[in-house]
Amino acid sequence: MKHIRIILCLTLFLTAASAAARVRYTINDAWRFTKGSPYNAFQPTADDSAWEVVNIPHTWNAEDAADDVPGFYRGPAWYRKRIVLPADAASKQAYLCFEGANQVVRLYVNGHYAGKHTGGYTRFVFDITKYIVPGGENLFAVEVDNAHDPDIPPLSADFTFFGGIYRDVSLLLTDKVHVAPTDFGSPGVYLSTPEVTAERAAVEVRTLVANSGTEPVRVRVEHRIVGPDGREATRAEDMAEIAAGSVAEQLRRDITIASPRLWDIDEPNLYRVLTRIVAEDGRVLDEVSNPLGLRWFSFDPDKGFSLNGRPRKLVGTCRHQDYLGRGWALPDEMHERDVRLIKEMGGNFLRVSHYPQDPVVMEMCDRLGIVASVEIPVVNAVTESREFLENSVRMVREMVRQDFNHPSVMIWAYMNETLLRPPYTDEARTKEYYKAIEHVARTLEKTIRREDPSRYTMIAFHNAPERYAAARLTQIPMIQGWNLYQGWYEKDITGFERILDRLHAQYPDKVLIVTEYGADVDPRLHSFSPEQFDFSQEYGLVYNRHYLEQMRKRPFIAGSSLWNLNAFYSEPRADVVPHVNNKGVTGLDRELKDTYLFYKTVLSRTPQLVIGNREWRNRSGADDGSGRCTQPVPVFTNQPSVTLTVNGRRIGTKRPEGGVAMFDVPFADGENRLVARAGALTDVLTVGFRLAQASPERFTELNVMLGSPRYFDDREAGLAWIPEQPYTPGSWGYVGGEALRRSGTGWLGSASDILGTKNDPVFQTQRVGIESFRADVPDGTYSVYLYWAELDAARQREALAYNLGADGAQQQYTGRRFDVSVNGRKVLENFSIAAEVGFSRAMVRKVEVIVRDGQGLRVDFGRIEGEPVLNAIRIYRNH
């Protein structure tokens, strides 16, 4: 009998709780989608049967932001979905919740306009109760527009503004009396910890309780705080009276937790606050849960950051919400993985930039012990309009209220490099513009401090301190963030430490964080003479080692967030991978670059050993005369020494410097098995190597990039490209000319987007004025592939002007012209790359040649107009 009673009680309790508690689920699947503004698209009767079927998360720019045609679609588009709502929705409050859509959304429910939201990165919620048909079919029609709007930040930025509903959409059904979800998209419960010590934590809970019914109600608001161990730590409850159709604010101050288990980087203890709204008859009307972390922290201008009384240097990354082929349309688990990557790298800091991100990102920071800074996307510039300011203020409100409860968040930021290119040349006008920016900054600063006095504020500047000082921005935030690229955008890498010291001297009362630093790396590129702008794995390593070392030496640098965790789309960029910014320590597909392995090695406290250049499985290089080719290979380890063997032969034992040991590895033709040993750790890497050499019996191919000191791994073909060398008898190489590694305003490897190829680096350098290319290959039949792209930007401009002046008639501009002969036979006469394929477009001409009488192979270039050029050559032996 007793037994049965217990079961009965339990059932009653469960039904009471589940009958009324809120229901929330995603409605992501199978929406109808079309670009443009079809007639009456908001009307249930409109015919969408010909529209595409898509799933949310979705963007309409995944393809056009990465193709050869400049620009991407920015304008209106529509999503529609029919969904049957439960009959009991009649007695409920119904909301449609968006985690983010770029950038203006208008919602129509069953033909009724239900609301609008501006801004592409924050969450928003529409109350749709009035418009739904409970127990019947409902049509949701959502117009999303990503057109440029001068009143909505960001105006411009180095990233692609993917349009679409690119984060989850959910339906939320609640009782008439419920925790309000409509306060700037916040959870409706605000947790703060006015005082935390090792002995005691004081917790304050502010709850917004909505009564959407027609009668006043009296309810109990209960907070149950559950500890990291799953046991109840404490609870509090209050009675509240809420008038019909209103939202009451319920403030509970005096909650304390004795001997709190602190939220820390190494031990991110999380409490949960379960908030229940209980009716007088005991029915649970609503229940929500929020994360609570008990910690205290501070930033000091000299000593940096400290958490729970312990100094900690913040080291981590920034992050963009992109993935290969998907743009921003990522499912939760891909956001989750990214935060894990930071943790696994040994990072303890995430600058969530340049905009608030998926809720999962914040949850993961809480869970993994990663300190976070979150910011709104006021990037590059502001518009001097009231609307721009209002939109920005609303964005910071949304940001702060939405992520308020995450213990990981310790910094709110609101501007990034807003004086990158001040739009005016006129001095008076510039002053006015600076004033406008200062006003925006002061307003945002004030708004944040009022919203949340418990955290720090930050603005990110770039390497033009005078400008920010002139606009008086440097004084406004509590923390100055600096985005620094000495050694990348500026030549001298040591400028980095100089500016750090200068800033600290100039702003002794300001906390400094290096909010960005980075070098682009395309892991297909390698160089043994790494230099600024070469996009090689090796330069990435040189750059990052330098920066980390300099920051470690300076306790006044409170933290750093390297740019960037991952490569990301930036549509106007040319670079080595067009439309992509490659500064990620991981790729768009999250391939780990050497820079990531380096950080992981030096930041981890557990033993690490990994052979670098892991991805470079197809190597090649010139024979050094011994039947081998010696090339450096980095091994990353935090152990005192490391030994490397190759194919069983011991290469040596080294002490790593700053986590890196460089070994000179004599590669043999074929497979090379590298084994590294350090303490109890072993790492193995098998590398395929092709000796590039004209030794008669073995010659099969030679792939050389002219004008280039780099190696390039064409992964799609498994083809290894090697740098040029001058010709010497018995070997191969160029005769005459000069290496063109910089062109126009571009630099090595980033001159321009080479159309018609994915192997841009093969075409982005050339030998200008080349006389011949010679290879002393044995007799045989060969295919000689000549690779060209016209890189002359000045000539391109000339050509354009010429065409424009030609009265509309398309006249051929040819510029550079030359003859090409192979082994004395003229194969191309009066040849012009531009006339053949245009500017910055790849072309490959394959020529069949029979080499006889031991004469070897010789390609000669005969100058006619301008200088002859060659970008790359591939010599392949048919038989």
Point out which residues bind Ca ion (CB under 5 A). Answer: 99, 168, 332, 358
Secondary structure (H, E, C), 394-415: HHHHHHHHHCCCCCCEEEEEEE
Least separation in angstroms between CB 117 and Ca ion: 17
Least separation in angstroms between CB 209 and Ca ion: 26
What percent of the chain is helix, strand and coil (3-state, nearest 5)?
20, 40, 40
Least separation in angstroms between CB 535 and ligand GCB: 12
C-beta of 168 vs 790, nearer to Ca ion: 168
Does the footprint of ligand GCB cover residue 672 (CB under 6 A)?
A: no
Residues 788-817 that bind ligand GCB (CB under 6 A): none
210: closest CA among 225, 232, 190, 188?
188
Tell me which of Ca ion, ligand GCB, none is bound by residue 138, counting a contact when its beta carbon lies within the kind-specific cut-off of 5 to 8 angstroms: none
Does the footprint of ligand GCB cover residue 583 (CB under 6 A)?
A: yes
C-beta of 295 vs 351, nearer to ligand GCB: 351
Does the footprint of ligand GCB cover residue 480 (CB under 6 A)?
A: no
Question: Could you tell me how far CA 799 lies from the centroid of its own chain?
Answer: 37
Does the footprint of ligand GCB cover residue 581 (CB under 6 A)?
A: yes
C-beta of 157 vs 479, nearer to ligand GCB: 157
C-beta of 170 vs 430, nearer to Ca ion: 170
Tell me which of Ca ion, ligand GCB, none is bound by residue 516, counting a contact when its beta carbon lies within the kind-specific cut-off of 5 to 8 angstroms: ligand GCB
Does the footprint of ligand GCB cover residue 752 (CB under 6 A)?
A: no
Tell me which of Ca ion, ligand GCB, none is bound by residue 581, counting a contact when its beta carbon lies within the kind-specific cut-off of 5 to 8 angstroms: ligand GCB
C-beta of 61 vs 581, nearer to ligand GCB: 581
CA 766/CA 752 separation, integer angstroms: 13
C-beta of 290 vs 486, nearer to Ca ion: 290
Tell me which of ligand GCB, Ca ion, none is bound by residue 522, counting a contact when its beta carbon lies within the kind-specific cut-off of 5 to 8 angstroms: none
Least separation in angstroms between CB 98 and Ca ion: 10
C-beta of 54 vs 834, nearer to Ca ion: 54
652-683: b or e for each residue (b if 16 or more CB lie within 10 Å)? eebebeebbbebebbbbbeebebbbbbeeeeb
Nearest residue to ligand GCB, by Cβ distance, number only: 158
Least separation in angstroms between CB 463 and ligand GCB: 9
Least separation in angstroms between CB 753 and ligand GCB: 16
Q: Are strands 681-692 and 670-678 parallel, antiparallel or unpaired?
A: antiparallel
Distances (CA, A) of 98 to 86, 171, 355, 499, 579: 20, 9, 16, 42, 28
Positive or negative, the CA dihedral 792, 69, 525, 342 is positive
Concatenated DSSP letters of 561-596: EES-SB-EE-TT--SSSTTEE---SB-TT-PBPHHH
Among the listed residues 92, 312, 406, 462, the single contact to ligand GCB using CB under 6 A: 462
CA 517/CA 443 separation, integer angstroms: 28
C-beta of 208 vs 382, nearer to ligand GCB: 382
C-beta of 157 vs 203, nearer to ligand GCB: 157
Non-local (6+) Cβ contacts of 2 within 8 A are none
Least separation in angstroms between CB 792 and ligand GCB: 26
Tell me which of ligand GCB, Ca ion, none is bound by residue 790, counting a contact when its beta carbon lies within the kind-specific cut-off of 5 to 8 angstroms: none
C-beta of 97 vs 849, nearer to Ca ion: 97
Least separation in angstroms between CB 272 and Ca ion: 20
Distances (CA, A) of 193 to 403, 405, 452: 15, 10, 11
**In this structure, are residues 740 and 766 in contact, taking their beta carbons and an 8 Å threshold?**
yes
Least separation in angstroms between CB 358 and Ca ion: 4
CA 518/CA 195 separation, integer angstroms: 38
Burial (Cβ within 10 Å: 0-12, 13-18, ≥19) of residue 386 = exposed
Tell me which of Ca ion, ligand GCB, none is bound by residue 168, counting a contact when its beta carbon lies within the kind-specific cut-off of 5 to 8 angstroms: Ca ion
Tell me which of Ca ion, ligand GCB, none is bound by residue 583, counting a contact when its beta carbon lies within the kind-specific cut-off of 5 to 8 angstroms: ligand GCB
Non-local (6+) Cβ contacts of 84 within 8 A are 135, 136, 137, 138
**In this structure, are residues 433 and 384 in contact, taking their beta carbons and an 8 Å threshold?**
yes
**In this structure, are residues 332 and 99 in contact, taking their beta carbons and an 8 Å threshold?**
no
C-beta of 168 vs 867, nearer to Ca ion: 168
Tell me which of Ca ion, ligand GCB, none is bound by residue 483, counting a contact when its beta carbon lies within the kind-specific cut-off of 5 to 8 angstroms: ligand GCB
Does the footprint of ligand GCB cover residue 58 (CB under 6 A)?
A: no
Among the listed residues 363, 366, 516, 867, the single contact to ligand GCB using CB under 6 A: 516
Tell me which of ligand GCB, Ca ion, none is bound by residue 158, counting a contact when its beta carbon lies within the kind-specific cut-off of 5 to 8 angstroms: ligand GCB
C-beta of 260 vs 587, nearer to ligand GCB: 587
Least separation in angstroms between CB 269 and Ca ion: 25
C-beta of 59 vs 581, nearer to ligand GCB: 581
- Return the amino acid letter for 4: I
The pair of structure tokens assigned to 374 is 């979150």
The pair of structure tokens assigned to 645 is 């063997």
CA 841/CA 256 separation, integer angstroms: 68
The pair of structure tokens assigned to 522 is 């395309």
Question: Quick one: which H or E segment has residue 23?
Answer: strand 23-26
Least separation in angstroms between CB 416 and ligand GCB: 5
CA 258/CA 272 separation, integer angstroms: 16
C-beta of 532 vs 581, nearer to ligand GCB: 581
Least separation in angstroms between CB 467 and ligand GCB: 14
Least separation in angstroms between CB 423 and ligand GCB: 18
Termini Cα distance of the chain: 93
C-beta of 556 vs 563, nearer to ligand GCB: 563
Count of helices and strands (H, E) across the chain = 12, 54
218: closest CA among 146, 275, 266, 282?
282
Tell me which of Ca ion, ligand GCB, none is bound by residue 332, counting a contact when its beta carbon lies within the kind-specific cut-off of 5 to 8 angstroms: Ca ion
Among the listed residues 34, 193, 483, 796, the single contact to ligand GCB using CB under 6 A: 483
Mutual angle of helices 594-603 and 537-552, in 10-degree steps: 30
- Return the amino acid letter for 631: Q
Least separation in angstroms between CB 804 and Ca ion: 49
Tell me which of ligand GCB, Ca ion, none is bound by residue 462, counting a contact when its beta carbon lies within the kind-specific cut-off of 5 to 8 angstroms: ligand GCB
Among the listed residues 416, 532, 620, 750, the single contact to ligand GCB using CB under 6 A: 416
Distances (CA, A) of 183 to 398, 401, 403, 537: 8, 8, 12, 47
Q: Cis peptide leading into 57, omega within 30 of 0?
A: yes
Least separation in angstroms between CB 746 and ligand GCB: 14
Least separation in angstroms between CB 320 and ligand GCB: 8
Residues 614-653 that bind ligand GCB (CB under 6 A): none
Non-local (6+) Cβ contacts of 631 within 8 A are 528, 619, 621, 664, 665, 667
Concatenated DSSP letters of 772-823: EEEE-PPSEEEEEEEEE-B--HHHHHHHHHHHHTTTT--PPP---EEEEEET
Does the footprint of ligand GCB cover residue 417 (CB under 6 A)?
A: yes
Among the listed residues 48, 145, 158, 790, the single contact to ligand GCB using CB under 6 A: 158
Query: Binding residues for ligand GCB, how many (CB under 6 A)?
Result: 10
Residues 539-578 that bind ligand GCB (CB under 6 A): 563
Least separation in angstroms between CB 167 and Ca ion: 5
Residues that bind ligand GCB (CB under 6 A): 157-158, 416-417, 462, 483, 516, 563, 581, 583
